[in-house]
Every structure is written in structure tokens, then in C-alpha cells.
Amino acid sequence: MLTFRIAMILPVRLGAIMSQSIYHRRQLYGILLNAFSALSFYFATFFVRLGALYDADLASELFAFVRYLLGFFFALFLFRKAGLTFRWKVPLPVYLRAIFNTLALLFFYEAVATGPAGTANVLNMTYPAFVAILAIPIFREIPDSRMLLVLGFSLTGIALYVLYPLIDTGSISKADLWGIGSGLLAAIAILSLRGAAMQARAEEILLWMFALGSVASFPLAVSSLSQLLKPGGLFVLASACLGIAGQWSLTRSYAYLSATAGSIVSSLRIPIALVAGFFLLQEIPGFSGILGAGLIFAGNLFLALFRRSEKKE
């Protein structure tokens, strides 16, 4: 009788163990994809910075245009593969997502081209804090005391980047302003994505984003197109390919990860940018830069965790 019970229970236990193992493998795959996207996004900017140092005529707008153009063909492939029908009239949030994503990337690449790539990446990663702030008037999401404390962390980190140079030298770095602007515009793009995702497929959103980005950045980059035929053009192509790889792996990772886990892993771009910038580009952030980055990184982590606890409640 005991043997019979064991024979009945054993397959169930084995099945539970196997399903749990599959879940953990899928989660690990998602983490690796998301971490790869963080690396890809950083090294896309690494080549923007290298290109700017190699040849001052390599405009940041050229990097953005090539990334959007190659991304358009990649998005078109995904769109056709999904069997979707193209429509000229799409919901307003899809247009807004495309417009503000384009502006955010142009601001971001200008920050990288004119200042340290590590600092630009850290300031670009302030978008979660701006999302939480902008959600107050737009979605009437009133933050509790914990959320206000975390936002204080993030805003203090931003202030350290901007105000410390002002106190020290009497001027604010234009590159830092471009970086903060990219974070703010990226936040609006993320908020637009909320509405876009409810009314359109991901493939359609990506197609419009890359298409509009290509059209908008072309007039800004047209005078620099001849630079693609020179050795510096390799930096542009490398940056574009890494940017597209980062976009694809980030999108794929959320098929295996929760939004909270994805946000936490994506924030790894902050320490990656500081460490890689120090060793590869000899960018030394200083104490205020390290402290500011630490506060922004901590703020991003707690914002993600608090959103998760709010959903559970």
C-alpha cells in the first residue's frame, strides 16, 4: 500500500520540481537578456563617445539617424513576421511614444558626444524618477511617504550632478543638461508607451518609433552623411548595431521577467557606465558623481520594489 502511494505521489513531485526548474531557467534567461541590453546600451554610447573623440565632425545626430534607420528595417522584419497589417492612422499614444523617444535619444547622444559617457548614462537613467513625478498630474497617482522619500533620493542624486559643478566652477555643464533632458523626455516616452501598449502591438509601436525617428533625424544628419564613408563611420555602425541589439534584448527579456525585476536589472547600466567609463575612457566621476550615481541607482531600485508592493496590496 505504501509503495502504491509513493508511486502515485512521486510523478506529481517530479512534475512540480521540473516545472519549477523550467521557471527558474526562463527567469535566468530573462535576467541575462536584460543585463545584455544594459551592456549593449552602454557600449552603443561608448562608440558615440569614441567617435566624437576620434573625429569632431561625427555629429551625434548621425549616430541617432543610422540607429533609427537600421532599426526601422529590423522593426519592419518583425512587423512582417508577426503578420500584421500596416495602418497609416494609429492611436495618438503611438505617435507620442515615437516623438518623445526620438527627442530623448537626440538629447542623450548629444550628452555623450559633449561630455563623459558615464555621466550621460547615469543622468539618462533618471527617467524612473521623472516617470513617478509626471504620473502625479497625468495619472493622478499620489505618492505615499515612502515614495516621496525615494524620489528625494533620486532628486538629491541629480542635484549633486548639476549643482556641485555650479558651486565648484560657477557654471553648469551643458552635457549634464542634455543628459537630464534625455531622462525627462524618456520618462514622457515611457508614459506614452503605457497608452500605446493598450492600443497597438509591440511590433507596430517599434515600427512607428524607428520610422519617425529616421525621418526626424535625417535633416539633422544629412550634412554629416559623407562621414559614413570614412573610418569614423565604423563607430557609427557599431553604435547603431549595439543600440538595436539592446532594444531587442530588452523587449524580449520582459517575456520572462516581471516589470519589477526588469527595472532592477536595467538599472545595472548605472554601475556599468561608471566602471566601464573609468577603465575604458579614463572618466573619473569624483566623489560627488559617485554619490549622486549611488543615490539615483538606489532610488531606481526602491521605486521598482515599491511599485511591486503597491500592486500586491
56 within domain boundaries: yes
Q: Looking at residue 146, what is its pLDDT?
A: 84
Residue with cell 535633416: 219
In-domain check, residue 212:
yes
* C-alpha cell of residue 110: 548629444
Domain count, the chain: 1
Once rounded to an integer, what is the mean pLDDT over residues 74-100?
A: 93
What is the torsional sign of CA 72, 73, 77, 78? Answer: negative
Write the Ramachandran bin of 140: left for phi over 0, alpha for psi from -120 to 50, otherwise beta. Answer: left
In a domain, residue 51? The reply is: yes
What's the rounded mean pLDDT across residues 207-222? 96
Domain interval for residue 238? 41-312
Asked whether 218 and 65 are in contact (CB, 8 A), the reply is yes
Q: What is the pLDDT of residues 11-20, one digit of tens each?
A: 545 454 445 5
The tally of CA atoms less than 13 A away on the side-chain side of residue 79 is 19
From residue 183, how far is each of 172, 176, 263 by CA, in Å?
17, 11, 15
Whether 26 is in a domain gets the answer: no
Residue closest to 174 by CA, chosen among 223, 110, 124: 110
The number of beta carbons lying within 10 Å of the beta carbon of residue 237 is 15
Please indicate, yes or no, if residue 5 is contained in any of the structural domains.
no
Question: 138 — alpha (psi -120 to 50), left (phi > 0) or beta?
Answer: alpha
The answer to whether residue 208 sits within a structural domain is yes
Task: Give per-residue pLDDT as tens, 97-149.
Answer: 999 999 999 999 999 999 999 999 999 999 999 988 888 888 787 778 888 88
Q: Is the pLDDT of residue 94 over 80?
A: yes
Q: Which helix (H) or strand (E) holds 142?
A: none
- Find, among 133, 227, 130, 121, the residue nearest to 175 by Cα: 121
In terms of Cα–Cα distance, which of 275, 260, 262 is closest to 305?
Answer: 260
> What is the pTM for the complete model shown?
0.88
Task: Write down the H helix ranges in the chain.
Answer: 2-54, 60-81, 92-114, 117-124, 127-139, 145-169, 174-199, 202-221, 233-253, 259-266, 269-280, 286-312
Q: Is residue 226 part of a domain?
A: yes
- Is residue 199 one of the residues assigned to a domain? yes
